[in-house]
Chain A
């Protein structure tokens, strides 16, 4: 049962371009949506997160856009750099919950 669907599976972007990764969820009890970044051989690390009471959150070059009615959210990486090449996971968590549900991941490659 895939509660968080993520696309695309892989993405190649030119240096300086915009990387966009999309996610959709089903459970309306979810109220916290983090994005994690994972480099090879490392565990995931929290990148940025949003709650559904806002439609957008920006931290540096990373922006989350959130559409509550469509139950969709996306990560935008502006001015993508080769160092951004990693696997990105969207995730969701419900109120007061302890279980974070992850999407399948997007492998991003930024060409220099």
Chain B
């Protein structure tokens, strides 16, 4: 168990550029989540995958955001035409579907995005 891995750890970009983040979940975990965390706040849910299927997207996720999880393994989160308000820590978490029983999330260390 090597934990949830996120890359890059830090990303600085100019407003209007596109950025892509990667998340490698714990290998046997079939659920994968993206959260966003701003300074002084708790993580906010963005989207959720069960294997390769994206089952839920938050209203926080504008059309500029897209997430994929091909083959149910790693996931990518892309932000197009970045805005300064996109600056935040983007956290990935994974879990093993407990079959309806409340679950434990395993978080990565996040990607800190700064939009200049």
Contact = CB atoms under 8 A, between A and B. Distances in A.
B40 interface: yes
Place the interface of chain A in its size category: 20 to 34
Contacts of B107: 43-45
Interface of A: 4, 6, 9, 31-32, 34, 36, 41-46, 49, 51, 89, 91, 93, 95-96, 98-105
A32 B40 contact: no
A105 B55 CA distance: 27
Interface residues of B, number: 25
A103 B37 CA distance: 11
A43 B108 contact: yes
A43 B4 contact: yes
B6 to A, nearest CB: 8
Interface stretch (B43-51, B62-70, B72-80): B43-51
Nearest to B104: A46
Contact of B110 (A43, A96, A98, A104): A43
Interface in B87-108: 91, 93, 100, 102-108
A41 B107 CA distance: 12
Contacts of B91: 43-44
A44 B107 CA distance: 6
Contact of B100 (A41, A44, A46, A96): A96
Residue of A36, A41, A44 with highest tally of chain B CB at under 10 A: A44
